[in-house]
Amino acid sequence: MLNVSGLTAAYGQVTAIRDISLAVDAGGILAVIGANGAGKSTLLKTIAGLLPATSGTIFFDGDDITRRSAFDRVRRGIALVPEGRRLFPSLTVQENLQTAFASKRKGAWTLDAVYDLFPLVAERRHRRAGNLSGGEQQATAIARALVTNPKLLLLDEVSLGLAPAIIADLYARLPDILAQGTGILLVEQDVSQAMKVADSVHCLLQGATSLTGKNLTMADISGAYFGVDKK
């Protein structure tokens, strides 16, 4: 479904990711891991279209979308849950979810369906998004992305700044999302959390791929994660 090859992107003169190639299938889940500043969020932003690729290609459902605008990608079925949640603070929770109707995509994820998936979000629906706890904000941000009925869901650091119980609760929803045939590409600093849910893992080190594969051991990963050669 998603095929990225040789993707390079930069902030001004500074190259943030170099020559990244990866693929995500419908209903599949790939975790991108790496230390702070490894380029994980940049990778997701580039796939979502918030940052232009300087070279390489992004194919989605067979179409080259490398030069497409971010909103066009959403209409094709790519949804990003951005770093820091980025809810609209002056809108209520429900209004935040309703903004996703702009994607004009129909599917299983109606407002009622996401409220069923996240009862906490349903409870807070009339509250302003600026007045939510971190966990509520993250759940709302995922719910908002789901309302665009994505074929591919990009999750950026779901666990950041949240209590372990809340993180576990959010990750417990992923199987329901995958069950709709949605592919997930998630970025995570918490390696053990990522390994628990993901079929395969893609490790970034200083903007480049350092390791990729399935059923990796922690020892393989720690080498690739920190850039230390195995002895």
Partner 1 sequence: MNLLEPIVQGILLGGLYALFAAGLSLMFGVMRIVNLAYGDFAVLAAYGSLVVINVAAVNPLVALVVVAPLMAVLGYVLQRTVLQRTLGASPLPSLLVTFGLSIIIQNALLLFGSADQQRLSLGAIDTASVELPFGVRVGVFPLGVFVLAVILLGILSWITARTQYGRLVRAVSDDPDTVTLQGANPKIIYGVATAIAFGLVAIAGVAAGIQTSFSPSSGSMLLIFAFEAVIIGGLGSLWGTLGGAVILGVAQTVGAAFAPAQQILAGHIVFLLFLAFLPNGLSRRKVRA
Query: Which residues of this chain interact with partner 1, rule CB under 8 A?
Result: 48-50, 69-71, 74-75, 79-80, 82, 86, 88-91, 95-96, 98-105, 144-145, 148
Locate tokens 């500074």: which residue?
14
22 vs 78, beta carbon nearer partner 1: 78
98 vs 212, beta carbon nearer partner 1: 98
Strands 152-156 and 183-188 come out as parallel
Which residue(s) pair with 188 in the sheet? 33
* Residue type for position 41: S
Q: Where are the beta strands (DSSP E) in 12-52?
A: 14-24, 29-34
User: Taking the complex as a whole, how short is the minimal distance between the CB of residue 10 and partner 1, in angstroms?
Assistant: 18
CA–CA separation, 153 and 103 (whole Å): 14
5 vs 90, beta carbon nearer partner 1: 90
User: Taking the complex as a whole, how short is the minimal distance between the CB of residue 93 and partner 1, in angstroms?
Assistant: 12
User: Taking the complex as a whole, how short is the minimal distance between the CB of residue 96 and partner 1, in angstroms?
Assistant: 8
Kindly compute the dihedral angle of the four CA atoms of residues 110, 116, 24, 138, in this order, to the nearest 10 degrees.
100
53 vs 221, beta carbon nearer partner 1: 53
68 vs 173, beta carbon nearer partner 1: 68
The neighbour count for residue 13, using CB atoms within 10 Å, is 5
User: Taking the complex as a whole, how short is the minimal distance between the CB of residue 166 and partner 1, in angstroms?
Assistant: 22
* Residue type for position 14: V
CA–CA separation, 109 and 87 (whole Å): 19
User: Taking the complex as a whole, how short is the minimal distance between the CB of residue 210 and partner 1, in angstroms?
Assistant: 29
